[in-house]
Amino acid sequence: MKPVIFILGVSALPLAKQLAAELQGEIHGPDSYGKATSHLADLLNAGRTIIGICAAGILIRALAPHLGDKRSEPPVLAVAEDGSSVVPLLGGHHGANSLARRIAALTKGHAAITTASDVKLGFALDDVLPGYTLANPEDVKSVTAALLAGSSLSIICHPGESRDPEPPFHCENVKHLQLHPWVPASAGMTIEITEANRMGGPTHLIYHPHTLAVGVGCERGTSREEVTTLIKNTLKENNLAIQSIAGYASIDLKEDEPAISFLYNVNFFSAEELNAFAPKLKTPSGYVMAEVGTPGVAEAAALAAAGPDAELIVPKTKSKRATVAIARAPLPLIEMHGRRMGTLAVIGIGPGSKMMRSPLATSKLYVATDWVGYDLYLDLIADIKTDQIEHRFPLGGEEARVRHAIALAKQGKQVALVCSGDAGIYAMAALVYEIIDLEPTRIKIEVISGISAFQAAAAKAGAMIGHDFCCISLSDLLTPWEAIEKRVKAAADGDFVISFYNPRSLKRRDQLERAFAILKDHRPPDTPVIIASNLGRVEEKVTIVKFADFNPDDVDMLTLVMVGSSQSKSVRRGDGKTYAYTPRGYAKKRETL
């Protein structure tokens, strides 16, 4: 995620723009201190890097109540408005210190690094580089204390596991480090870089390089337990640490195989791509070639994922229905080769306000590689855009929009199909499933719910849907008017609260009047009617009128109309506002007490 450059006033804007350009960051500027405090807390909880161009005390007071495990805190920095001082407050060993140095170089200021290991040693043992995992972080404190007291430090590497014993952590000064191949440690502190499953200790830190790629194959319908058990046993038999696995790989025919797709960081290859590694296979199979078009899946997938210079260190190992093989890359795999399984998240963003967007929807939008949607909907989520590619569509053409999203996912993209309100209510989710029902595909699909317009309208106006209700779309573009009319009559007879979606458009002008004509004989004249337009947006307007006073000309295509049941009531309160609600029947319950 992009770092957030946080400001409280226009005086900080020039530096904010400079940092945003250099760091590919986003500028956030809440319009009040109260909003700033809650916004900073939200950013911290979301794991966003925060660069506050403000007094350090502001950040400290806002974030102190929300601090927890220092291992999970994102970088938080305070920067003077003139750039003269850059102070990493949190996450020093999670990137804040190195970011402070980078900002200071840009502003020609001073990075006020305060962590003892960085100041005296020039490195921090738990500021781990991408491509490595520290196996025993609980021992960092004792090793660091010994180094600060003058102990020596050796970095050792096993032959064949890495070309050079480079430090596996951010390091500004290597003069304190002795770099050499594997020899038994004689004295001082030791760092061991190894794929082996080894134990560390108070004087011995273990770093596992992410150099292993695991190829997996299985019969259709193999259980997850069988595949995971085979992987664990293979690692144990070969004394390999699971932390050194950069990811898993298989043939693309297995993209929708639950036993494989649930593994962490799985990449897929076509049979043709796997065939390129046929000369390097140790156990090629004519049967596998006839079945899937390549002489081996597990071995070829492991080699393909680990890259052209990889070596196969564990040949195909079998269980009853699954196979596993392991390849080693010469250097840590920051990104594995191959194609990720494509996913299509159909996301309901709510009525429009970011405050009414669910955290799950926001997180899914953040991690997507591509956003597909109607222009207006993409504009409504611009506040969280980072480097996603936008695929904008005009109003209408819903099937073209959905097919485009599916096509992107089939390419291995992580796609967000953006819908207003709830993705499953008069939105794209049903159409997605309709198309994949007609044209099966292996992509993963998930539907992320949102607050629908009828929920937002009812809440803004009181509690109209406190009892039975229904939703009816008045658009006859896809549904014949005869069917719509039949549903309106049934809802009128059933005395439901009715939410009318798509009540009017530039071309459809009379359906709403016809629906109200049907309801006229079923609703008292004083039945409350909610007219809600532009919900969650700056132009939001929610009014309540009596059924007898309802004017269809007050409605446009961005409006939802909600008609109460015969039991719904409106009440004017002391604040001068009118509210509407539908009682559930507690009055009768009270009478019996």
Give me the residue spans of the domains in the chain. Answer: 4-114, 123-209, 212-339, 351-451, 454-581
Measured CA to CA, the distance from residue 460 to residue 523 in angstroms comes to: 22
The answer to whether 281 touches 304, Cβ cutoff 8 Å, is: no
pTM of the entire predicted model: 0.74
Q: What's the start-to-end Cα distance of the chain, in Å?
A: 57
Measured CA to CA, the distance from residue 204 to residue 177 in angstroms comes to: 14
> CA 125 → CA 47, 121, 139, 201, 363, distances in Å?
22, 10, 10, 14, 30
- 387 phi and psi angles, rounded to 5 deg: -115, 20
Hey, what amino acid is at 330?
A: P
State the pLDDT at residue 164.
Answer: 55
State the pLDDT at residue 123.
Answer: 79
- 95 phi and psi angles, rounded to 5 deg: 115, -15
Q: Residue ranges of the chain with pLDDT lower than 70?
A: 1, 31-33, 158-165, 172-187, 506, 587, 589-593
SS3 of the chain: helix, strand, coil, percent, to 5: 35, 25, 40
Concatenated DSSP letters of 85-143: EEEEEE-GGGTHHHHHHHHHHHHT-EE----HIIIIISEEEEEEPTTEEES-GGGHHHH
State the pLDDT at residue 178.
Answer: 52
Q: What is the CATH number of domain 123-209?
A: 3.40.1390
Architecture per CATH, domain 351-451, reads as 3-Layer(aba) Sandwich (3.40)
> CA 247 → CA 122, 162, 436, distances in Å?
32, 18, 29
Place of tokens 């970088």: 75
Q: Provide the token pair at 503.
A: 């009540």
CATH class, range 4-114: alpha beta
State the pLDDT at residue 161.
Answer: 62
The answer to whether 48 touches 26, Cβ cutoff 8 Å, is: no
**H or E segment to which residue 502 belongs:** none
CATH class, range 454-581: alpha beta
The answer to whether 354 touches 391, Cβ cutoff 8 Å, is: no
Q: What is the CATH number of domain 212-339?
A: 3.30.420.180
Measured CA to CA, the distance from residue 93 to residue 312 in angstroms comes to: 35
